[in-house]
Amino acid sequence: MTVKLFIQAIIKFLLGVVLVGLLIFVPAGRISFFNGWLLMGILFVPMFLAGIVMMFKNPELLKKRLSAKEKQQEQSVVVKLSALMFLVGFIVAGLDFRFSWYTLPRIVVIIAVVLFLVSYILYAEVLRENTYLSRTIEVQKNQKVIDTGLYGIVRHPMYSVTLILFLSMPLVLGSIYSFVIFLAYPFIIAKRIKNEEELLEKELEGYSEYKQRVKYRLIPFVW
């Protein structure tokens, strides 16, 4: 662990907290938005704890996860579309609460919270299984194909997990309208996977054979 990495991680974490908070609570018109605080809690508390663990156990992995600048133009577009989805989705959820358009039943929110937390656990498992993971598409030095654990079920378990994570967010916020906006994510991530696999086939030894062994990209028996 280095002081520079620690400061970078803390700054990015705090910026994330402030940005998400603003996107949710400003449109909501007041801070007494329980579902907003609920999402902030289940999103950022585990994130903070995971960051602390990585900082001491695997600082190199943390450094990779903090790097988010895509070198490829196509992937840069994917990142921007994802950011737009979050921006609009969170604002709509806040407005939904403010103007009482439609409130999802409490049981739906509870189920969404459970799904979110389970997904976070799976997210941690993916990071444990594959220390090559970064937030940008690249093939790293000495990188090898991981084909055990969750990688033996689907080729992109990280994206499978984020699919559940992101689709549960608007439900935690209690907004069906926000959920409709977040339904764009499967299409966005499908575009990212297509481009990523083209790169991996070209530059990562053994990936073509791995594709033959593990047929599904994102969802078992579906795609």
Asked whether residue 219 is assigned to any structural domain, the reply reads no
- Measure Cα distances from 201 to 22, 195, 222 in Å: 41, 10, 22
Asked whether residue 76 is assigned to any structural domain, the reply reads yes
pLDDT at residue 62, as a whole number: 74
pLDDT at residue 216, as a whole number: 92
Structural domain boundaries, residue 113? 3-213
Block mean pLDDT (10 aa), the chain, length 223: 80 94 97 97 92 80 67 74 96 97 96 96 87 61 80 92 96 98 94 87 86 91 87
The pTM assigned to this predicted structure is 0.88
Asked whether residue 28 is assigned to any structural domain, the reply reads yes
Spatial CA neighbour of 197 closest among 172, 222, 181, 217: 217
Q: Are 21 and 39 in contact (CB under 8 A)?
A: no
pLDDT at residue 23, as a whole number: 97
Q: For residue 147, give the CATH number of its domain.
A: 1.20.120.1630
* Domain count for the chain: 1
Asked whether residue 152 is assigned to any structural domain, the reply reads yes
Asked whether residue 222 is assigned to any structural domain, the reply reads no
